[in-house]
Amino acid sequence: MDSFVYVLGTITRNGPLTYVGWTHDVARRLAQHNAGKGARFTRGRTWMLLHEERFATRREAMSREWHLKRDRKFRKQLAQKLRPKRLSAATIPARRRRAAASGGPSGTASPTV
C-alpha cells in the first residue's frame, strides 16, 4: 500500500507555520487536521497542503518525514507560498494611505495624556 509524506501550512499572527506528517490517504488526513481531529499541534487552525511525496512502503515514508522535519530551509521555502504579496504604496489607494498615516479607522488610537 502506498504511503505519503505531506507538508501542511497555515498563517498565524506570528507568521507561517508548517507541519510534516505521513499517511496512506492525504485528503482524509488533511480533513482530519482541519476538523480538529489530527495531531494536537494542528488543532484550531486551517491548514492547506503545500507538498506531498509518494512512497512504496511506510518505512520509506517515515524516513522521509524524519528528514523533512529537520529540513527547515525546505519548509521555509514552502511556507513562502502562504505569505501574501506585499503591496507597494503605488498599489494602495491614496484614501487608504492617508487614513493609515493619520491613525484613521484602520489605525490605532493614541492614548490621551
Report pLDDT digits (tens) over 43-78.
999 999 999 999 999 999 999 999 999 999 999 999
Q: How confident is the model at residue 9 (pLDDT cuts 50, 70, 90)?
A: very high
- pLDDT (0 to 100) of residue 110: 47
Report the phi/psi class of residue 103: left, alpha or beta, with left for phi > 0 and alpha for psi in -120 to 50: left
Range 3-79 classified under CATH 2.40.50: no
In the chain, what is the greatest distance between 2 CA atoms, to the nearest angstrom? 68
Distance (Å, whole) CA 2 – CA 39: 21
| Domain segments of the chain as ranges | 3-79
- Burial state string for 69-101 with b = 16 or more CB within 10 A and e = fewer than 16: eeeeeebeebbeeeeeeeeeeeeeeeeeeeeee
